[in-house]
Structure 1
Amino acid sequence: MSLPYPALHASHGGTWLATPDGETRALARGEAIRVAADTSVLLLGAAVVGQRLGYADLSGLDLLELFAFLHPARFMVPTPKGLARATGLLPPTRDEDVAPFLREAAAALLSVAEGDWPEREGAWTAAQSMSRLRWPWAPALIDRLARPAQNERWLFSKLPEWHEGAPRPAPRAVTLDSAETQERLAALTGAAAEARPGQRAYAEAAAQAFAPRTMRDTPNLVLAEAGTGIGKTLGYLAPATLWADKAGGAVWVSTYTKALQRQLGHETARVYPDPAVRRTRVVTRKGRENYLCLLNLEDALQGGFAGRAAILAQLVARWAAYSADGDMVGGDLPGWLTTLFRRAGATALTDRRGECVYAGCPHYRKCFIERAARASAEADIVIANHALVMVNAARGRETATRPTRYVFDEGHHLFDAADSMFATALTGQEAIEIRRWVIGPESRSRGRRRGLAARLSDVASYDEQGALAIQAAGEAAAALPSDGWLQRLADGDPFGAIEALLAAVRGLVYARDTAKSDAGYGLETELAEPDAALIDAAAGAAQALDALYRPLVTLGRRLDAVLGEAPDWMDGPARARIEGAIASLGWRAETVGAWLALLARIGGPADPDFVDWLAVDRIEGREWDIGLHRRWLDPTRPFAEAVLKPAHGALVTSATLRAGGDWAVAEARAGAPHLAQPAQRFEAASPFDYAAQAEVLIVTDVKRGDVAALAGAYARLIVAAGGGTLGLFTAIRRLRGVHGRIADRLAREGLPLYAQHVDPIDTGTLVDIFRDDGHASLLGTDALRDGVDVPGHSLRLVVMEGVPWSKPSVLHAARRLADGGAAYEDRLVRARLAQAFGRLIRSSRDRGAFVLLSAAMPSRLLAAFPPGVGIARVTLDEAVARVETRLSSGAPIGQETGEHA
């Protein structure tokens, strides 16, 4: 059956329309918008095409939505090339060939629906539901899908239940034999692998973290800096899996980025080749806000969502039936799926507000979150992230299965993760969330959101003191900010004690602003010498918060008592639900208690352990939050207390652990000074021949702050490299300015350009697209500097707009003053440069150039680059010529150098 729809394709190089009669023609942007507005058209990524045309409301028959329906939980790069690979068609080679290709691809995808394919179950039922929602693809699918012979198992009956297991015994005390460790490493790398002395030495050092502990509250801490190419992943998996086998315990491998979590999941296939065994022995864990909440999904499917959000809910339901773990952020849900719906409803499908009712949920036994928690209790390797590890430890979660051995990969980020985890922020946005958590919906809402009283109604009916505490908490929460608080503050009409406090904060911040207040950026000032208005407002706010804090603590105690008394109605699920409520109450009470401690400091002496400040957060001049902030001067102190001291062993590892400095830097940023026993150190240099594989070019004639000149430099360098360029920026505004000036020009050269904060695509998908196309280039900020792993020809040039100095802030100034002044700043910059350079050479076959567009690059920072790499200060013309010659000719890089790191 021929599709009666034209196909529309838009890129920075132009716009084309392929009609059903086989004609393909170029369109002006205005004409393309008229066609799309009047006609149902086939598209690949409506959000991206709409942005290219400047028509945000563009809609049509999006092939990505069709693919997500037919093949849920299956990976596809959302480009014509990726679609061709998924459908078995030849990819288009020119932009003008894409539109007719989309018609071919649509026919190929719809032909799948006419047969029997692995994800067929549930498709007919879903198509009927989506037809009622007027999904554009529904009529074509219904014409092709055969009605199943018997009723299909719907999602909530199809999902398997998790089962409670017996408590796991404590790990045995074992000592790893060196020969066994090396034997396990050899088995993981394979007999045909090249000999890596550095990797063998690294595995030997990592094994020390698994030795029996000899002192209470003092783990065996190993700090290991291993250069890129050492093979540290298998180097620590060898002793980790060996210890898990012999001791019967679990090792938690913690990362900072989702990209490394995915990579680790793939690497564990070497340890456990059988997928069924691997699913039981290796579990990936994330925070609960990453997982699909089945109760929220049920509400969405039953009318809680409307319009496009309802269609997204149906596609997510299709995915949930085939997902390996229900992870919506970085799991097997395509990262591009939610962006197709402009994120309408996506966040409402997860538990981001701590409103889980645990065993009170009808889907509790099938819950993805609970399944992951129980699977990790039985696993040998748990792949987690720094934030989850710290949350579980600091808030006393899962104490019965608390790990005794950790591996912190990307260990150079531990300081930053701890800084965020142990922070305090008394802001309007944080306060309104607690109000909603306690009170529940205060307006007509189609969602299932409930307040504290509704979630604990059975407890309230059983325990009188608990009921009084719930009532008191609800009354006190009414003093917290409510909808419209920002406008009331702008109008000078705050309501309640907390809004009065925020109004005083706002007034003092603007009064002390030394920059141009209309610059559009956030404003902040030290919490020092507060004025009378702020002191008075803080006193009133403290009374209001204390009125909330006391009943929350009381309610937690009453729930503990209910558990102890075990009333007749309390079965296992009810007990689990109350235990969950206790944990949630503890978290909220802890937050309010931290706010009270921060308010107590106003008007009194400063606490030398903390940095306190006031802030008005703005985006492009629009205020979106206001409040008081507190950070630990050294956040590794609470990290050491909560995580390291209870552990028996920990390995902290990274390619840039010392940040271009000495071991004291690595120890300080890992929390080692707070332990009684010194950390063990290990260092292994990268095996790569950087002198032959890479070169650093410092461009001396691009004027700082000249966006036009900066854009010209990026364009010339990308053309010289033939694409394959990662462009890194320290400011989003300059990134957007450069992208807007050069995207069309590069497209005419056949060089696609993508950009974080510009393209309506999630960062992970942007990296997938970049990796998949050797002619593409990608612009981004620090998330790309630290989290990109693109080996091979797809990344052959890294360009940084300038020296990545820290953004001035109250917190940075305090830490700089306390930790060496300019030397502290230099350490941070060297670490950022080292991480950026580390994106370039990922294997012995890689080759490329690193270009820094800054004449003001101090020589003292050159230690950030690997020893032996060639460094030259050149003009832009010279840099372009060297990039073009060396990357196109295959000549060795780095033979002509001016400076050496």
Structure 2
Amino acid sequence: MLPHPALHASHGGIWIADGDGCRAVGRGEAIRIAADTPVILLGASIAGQRLGYAELSGLDLLELFAFVYPARFAVPTPKGLAAALGLTPPASDDAVAPFLREAAAAMLATLDGDWPEREGAWTAAQTLFRLRWPWAPQVTACLSKPQGGERWLFSRLPEWEEGAPRPAPRTVTLADDAVADRLARLTGTAAETREGQRRFAATAAQAFAPRRMRDTPNLVLAEAGTGIGKTLGYLAPASLWTEAADGAVWVSTFTKALQRQLGHETARLYPDPAERRARVVTRKGRENYLCLLNLEDALQGGFQGRAAILAQLVARWAAYSADGDMVGGDLPGWLPTLFRRNGSTALTDRRGECIYAGCPHYRKCFIERAARASANANIVIANHALVMVNAARGRETATRPTRYVFDEGHHLFEAADSMFAAALTGAEAIEIRRWVTGPEGTARGRRRGLAARLSDVASYDEEGGRAITQAVEAARALPSDGWLARLQEGAPFGPVEALLGAVRGLVYARAAKDDDAGYALETELAEPDAALVDAAGPAGAALDALVRPLVALGRRLEAVLAEAPDWMDGPARARIEGAIASLGWRAETVGAWLALIARIGGPADPDFVDWLAVDRAEGREWDVGLHRHWLDPSRPFAETVLKQAHGAVITSATLRAGGDWDVADARSGAVHLEGSAIHFAAQSPFDYASRAEVLIVTDVKRGDLPGLANAYARLILAAEGGTLGLFTAIRRLRGVHARIADRLAREGLPLAAQHVDPIDTGTLVDIFRDDPRASLLGTDALRDGVDVPGRSLRLVVMEGVPWPKPSVLHAARRMAGGGSAYDDRIVRARLAQAFGRLIRRADDSGAFVLLSAAMPSRLLSAFPDGTPIRRITLDEAIERVRALPSVAPIRQKAGA
């Protein structure tokens, strides 16, 4: 057994286990022991939060698990770790600390032999020993040096190969009986025939018919209620079309959870794992993938302290990862959170600084591998943002898809809103400055400016070199380090900082006063004051001086490609092509800023909504700037994506947002196409009348935080856990959690919370799903992105009617969209999505509780037809929840 004690801290108490047994201790004693002696922990950040000791550190079992089993996942709870290790889970809180010692011993024993992830472990352990990783002495004592050495990360990763361009898809027509047969094969012969799913598949197949008109795709808008089986419904015609036409279908989602779910569903199409890897590829934005050059920099001294340990563990993972996806892939979501903010984001390409073929790891790059794999795949699982980025400014023009399926289609409007917006803010401007100039002053790191990235071009092409010099000089007029502090002190430096200072002053003068500094302040860009008008001219001139050389440089690079000098080999050509794409993106961004500045003192553009904002969080300002959004973002979405496609299916359970098809047409972009969309609707097959009910609690006062917390606590206790609590404000979520966590823990009911627990949202959902007595509190991300079928979710509680937050943008769209009717559509869609978390399969049951007496009757149509709806008191609601059929088995098991 290990000589180290184990520490377990929960809301229910604190325990220490060592060679003499296990004992309960107070917070002070636990902190003293942890400070004096290395202790075994399960999630130091969570344990430290429970102890109120943020600097808690020790022998974290999750770090050891990440070392021993890279690219494997374990739910970061005692039960989850036991399942991953094949151990018996602890039966109670006081049994957890001894179990932690047992789990540590089991993992260390694994190191004494051969296991699938052994290669690279010895080399990594030696480095971790030098970095003083707490586990390093135990790990190195157990590991023996491999005979003949071992391959490490960069020698182990495979290289991708360039293939011949894929021909354009053939023109084919899908037969109705073939679609039906494919659906039957996917669902299985033993599955119950679902008429709604069959009709859905037949309708979705029309999107794969030959296109009839230029710039007008075959567009299917399908509202399919929960339980219809829409995933297999659209995969049936999509898979048939890919095989017959030899083309790719891009299935686009909004949440990473659905991307993972789709990956699992495609196993029905391609049961053989090797074939599935070739035929199905998951794609995300560049910022999700590990950058091997950034990792190499971190491993060679770019990271220090705890961040350097994280880099070593990520390197262990990268050697075994299926795709290098750090966000929602096979990297455990809890791993970066163990190191707080020490480096995980610096391991991805979040600034668009990729040097493409100039990178020594280009042939092994995870991003490039995914791009090439998707070119020859049948099904590409992407997300709305990536689809729009690729369509608007992507490099993969030769392999752009002609057929799309947009699942979670009700989110297309907001995804387009984000994609096609412009924001001239300090944070955005300083990033472009850094991209152009590279490190300045004493700054260190791998970041390189234009001159360094294109030095060979500058030496070959005099005009291109001159454009680089001019761009670097012009970029120095953008905000630099310390810009926000200078604005707050009233001492901006340079024309763009002066403009932002004028923006900040006008916002504070005109914005509605708000005592809570955690919220952003904003005001319309209308009737600007003299200070803002005077600052606009010099700022516009400075930005114009930047955009001109960027455009000129892009043209010179295109000319260099056409000239094809002797020094330009394949990698150099790819690097220059990448630079052209990056320059086009930045020039487009600065051009949008110029259009926004021209609006100051000028006429308003009816297509756009412009405003000024000071962004604040956690009691401090973090950004200042001007913002421009399309009044109707579905218009640029239709232009850049839909009109270029031959067919598309847009589907969701709430596509019409509680309205008619005019709403779906407007929010999907169908109104901007010449032809008419095909409409399909099918209600959920679930028996909501007997499996669910809506309880509107009438006696919890609005604004009464203690009363709200009491209601949540009593409802969770009545349901024996299994509760998803949804909030419209982070501040209230935190206030409720602080009041009820200890109370629930004393009853053996764990409570996790988004924006409270130092762990990513996906892992919080995994923890919730894994324990039927656990509950989870969260905000919008949980309202739309949680799929927890079965006993783990039997009660959904919303704090109130989810009205849209008042803002300049919302006010403009509200006016254009019908006033209060626009608000009602948003609320209905949010209520429907929240209610949809409750019943995920036919045998689910539970209750949906809304803690608001002010719920208008006109919004009740958000819930499925036949669902019982009752307006009752909190006491009555608690009795009904306690009597739920899904609660009784949990109570009986707990009693046993």
- The TM tier, using the shorter chain, reads over 0.9
**C-alpha distance in 2 between matches for 1:762 and 1:889:** 28
1:398-547 alignment runs, 5 A limit: 398-516=396-514, 519-547=517-545
Give deviations 1:673-707, integer Å, cap 9, x for gaps. 00000000001110000000000000000000111
**C-alpha distance in 2 between matches for 1:487 and 1:574:** 41
How many residues in Structure 1 have an aligned counterpart in Structure 2? 889
- Matched to 1:591, the amino acid is T
Give deviations 1:275-330, integer Å, cap 9, x for gaps. 00000100000001100000000010000000000000000000000000000000
Give deviations 1:372-431, integer Å, cap 9, x for gaps. 000000000000000000000011431000000000000000000000000000000000
1:595-634 alignment runs, 5 A limit: 595-634=593-632
1:323-472 alignment runs, 5 A limit: 323-472=321-470
- Matched to 1:611, the amino acid is V
Give deviations 1:43-81, integer Å, cap 9, x for gaps. 000000011111111100000000000000001100000
Alignment partner, residue 896 of structure 1: none
Alignment partner, residue 79 of structure 1: 77
Alignment partner, residue 721 of structure 1: 719
Is 1:217 aligned to 2:215, yes or no? yes
- Matched to 2:512, the amino acid is T
Alignment partner, residue 897 of structure 1: none
Task: Give the alignment partner of residue 188 of structure 1, picking from 179, 182, 186.
Answer: 186
Q: What secondary structure sits across from 1:886 in the alignment?
A: coil
- Matched to 2:11, the amino acid is H
Are the equivalent residues in 2 in contact too, given 1:22–1:100 (CA < 8 A)? no
- Matched to 2:339, the amino acid is F
Q: Give, in angstroms, the shift of residue 887 of structure 1.
A: 3.9
Alignment partner, residue 8 of structure 2: 9
Alignment partner, residue 269 of structure 1: 267
Alignment partner, residue 260 of structure 1: 258
Q: Give, in angstroms, the shift of residue 259 of structure 1.
A: 0.1
Q: Give, in angstroms, the shift of residue 444 of structure 1.
A: 3.1
Alignment partner, residue 694 of structure 2: 696
**C-alpha distance in 2 between matches for 1:889 and 1:87:** 30
Rate the CA distance shift 1:45–1:429 in 2: closer, same or farther, 3 A: same
**C-alpha distance in 2 between matches for 1:140 and 1:800:** 48
- Matched to 1:570, the amino acid is M
- Matched to 1:439, the amino acid is T
Are the equivalent residues in 2 in contact too, given 1:549–1:593 (CA < 8 A)? yes
Alignment partner, residue 743 of structure 1: 741
Task: Give the alignment partner of residue 113 of structure 2, picking from 87, 105, 115.
Answer: 115
Give deviations 1:162-196, integer Å, cap 9, x for gaps. 00000000001101000000000011011111111
**C-alpha distance in 2 between matches for 1:718 and 1:889:** 11
- Matched to 1:8, the amino acid is L
Rate the CA distance shift 1:851–1:373 in 2: closer, same or farther, 3 A: same
**C-alpha distance in 1 between matches for 2:850 and 2:636:** 37
Task: Give the alignment partner of residue 228 of structure 1, picking from 222, 226, 229.
Answer: 226
**C-alpha distance in 1 between matches for 2:148 and 2:252:** 45
Alignment partner, residue 651 of structure 1: 649
Alignment partner, residue 18 of structure 1: 17
Are the equivalent residues in 2 in contact too, given 1:510–1:517 (CA < 8 A)? no
Q: Give, in angstroms, the shift of residue 620 of structure 1.
A: 3.1
**C-alpha distance in 2 between matches for 1:254 and 1:8:** 44
Alignment partner, residue 867 of structure 2: 869
Larger CA deviation: 860-869 vs 21-30: 21-30
Q: Give, in angstroms, the shift of residue 445 of structure 1.
A: 4.0
Q: Give, in angstroms, the shift of residue 516 of structure 1.
A: 3.1
Are the equivalent residues in 1 in contact too, given 2:611–2:626 (CA < 8 A)? yes
Are the equivalent residues in 2 in contact too, given 1:721–1:887 (CA < 8 A)? no
Q: What secondary structure sits across from 2:641 in the alignment?
A: helix
Task: Give the alignment partner of residue 170 of structure 1, picking from 168, 171, 187.
Answer: 168
- Matched to 2:856, the amino acid is P
Alignment partner, residue 829 of structure 1: 827
Give deviations 1:568-602, integer Å, cap 9, x for gaps. 11011110000000000100000000000000111
- Matched to 2:738, the amino acid is G
Are the equivalent residues in 1 in contact too, given 2:385–2:419 (CA < 8 A)? yes
Alignment partner, residue 860 of structure 1: 858
**C-alpha distance in 2 between matches for 1:449 and 1:263:** 36
Are the equivalent residues in 2 in contact too, given 1:803–1:852 (CA < 8 A)? yes
Q: What secondary structure sits across from 2:623 in the alignment?
A: strand
- Matched to 1:809, the amino acid is S
Q: Give, in angstroms, the shift of residue 514 of structure 1.
A: 2.5
Alignment partner, residue 88 of structure 2: 90
Are the equivalent residues in 1 in contact too, given 2:720–2:887 (CA < 8 A)? no
Q: Give, in angstroms, the shift of residue 150 of structure 1.
A: 1.0
Alignment partner, residue 768 of structure 2: 770
**C-alpha distance in 1 between matches for 2:745 and 2:639:** 53
**C-alpha distance in 2 between matches for 1:516 and 1:623:** 14
Is 1:29 aligned to 2:30, yes or no? no
Rate the CA distance shift 1:65–1:576 in 2: closer, same or farther, 3 A: same
1:56-71 alignment runs, 5 A limit: 56-71=54-69
Are the equivalent residues in 2 in contact too, given 1:617–1:624 (CA < 8 A)? yes
Are the equivalent residues in 1 in contact too, given 2:750–2:774 (CA < 8 A)? yes
Q: Give, in angstroms, the shift of residue 23 of structure 1.
A: 1.8
Gaps of 5+ in 1: 892-901
Is 1:816 aligned to 2:817, yes or no? no
Alignment partner, residue 803 of structure 2: 805
Q: What secondary structure sits across from 2:23 in the alignment?
A: strand
**C-alpha distance in 1 between matches for 2:412 and 2:533:** 35
The two structures have a TM-score, normalised by structure 1, of 0.98
- Matched to 1:12, the amino acid is H
Q: What secondary structure sits across from 1:533 in the alignment?
A: helix
Task: Give the alignment partner of residue 730 of structure 1, picking from 708, 728, 744.
Answer: 728
Alignment partner, residue 309 of structure 2: 311
Give deviations 1:142-168, integer Å, cap 9, x for gaps. 111111001111110100000000000
Q: What secondary structure sits across from 1:645 in the alignment?
A: helix
**C-alpha distance in 1 between matches for 2:394 and 2:791:** 46
**Structure 1 vs Structure 2: percent identity of aligned residues?**
80
The two structures have a TM-score, normalised by structure 2, of 0.99
Are the equivalent residues in 1 in contact too, given 2:129–2:137 (CA < 8 A)? yes
**C-alpha distance in 2 between matches for 1:373 and 1:502:** 39
**C-alpha distance in 2 between matches for 1:22 and 1:86:** 27
- Matched to 1:250, the amino acid is A
Alignment partner, residue 794 of structure 2: 796
- State the superposition RMSD in angstroms: 0.9
Q: Which runs of 4+ in 1 moved over 6 A?
A: none
**C-alpha distance in 1 between matches for 2:518 and 2:378:** 49
**C-alpha distance in 1 between matches for 2:273 and 2:51:** 45
Are the equivalent residues in 1 in contact too, given 2:794–2:887 (CA < 8 A)? no
**C-alpha distance in 1 between matches for 2:619 and 2:813:** 28
Alignment partner, residue 893 of structure 2: none
Q: Give, in angstroms, the shift of residue 441 of structure 1.
A: 1.2
- Matched to 1:861, the amino acid is L
Are the equivalent residues in 2 in contact too, given 1:36–1:59 (CA < 8 A)? yes
Give deviations 1:739-780, integer Å, cap 9, x for gaps. 000000000000000000000010000000000000000000
Q: What secondary structure sits across from 2:883 in the alignment?
A: helix
**C-alpha distance in 2 between matches for 1:380 and 1:428:** 42
**C-alpha distance in 2 between matches for 1:273 and 1:388:** 27
Q: Give, in angstroms, the shift of residue 343 of structure 1.
A: 2.8
**C-alpha distance in 2 between matches for 1:97 and 1:745:** 20
- Matched to 2:875, the amino acid is D
**C-alpha distance in 2 between matches for 1:418 and 1:514:** 28
Alignment partner, residue 843 of structure 2: 845
Are the equivalent residues in 1 in contact too, given 2:719–2:887 (CA < 8 A)? no
- Matched to 2:128, the amino acid is M
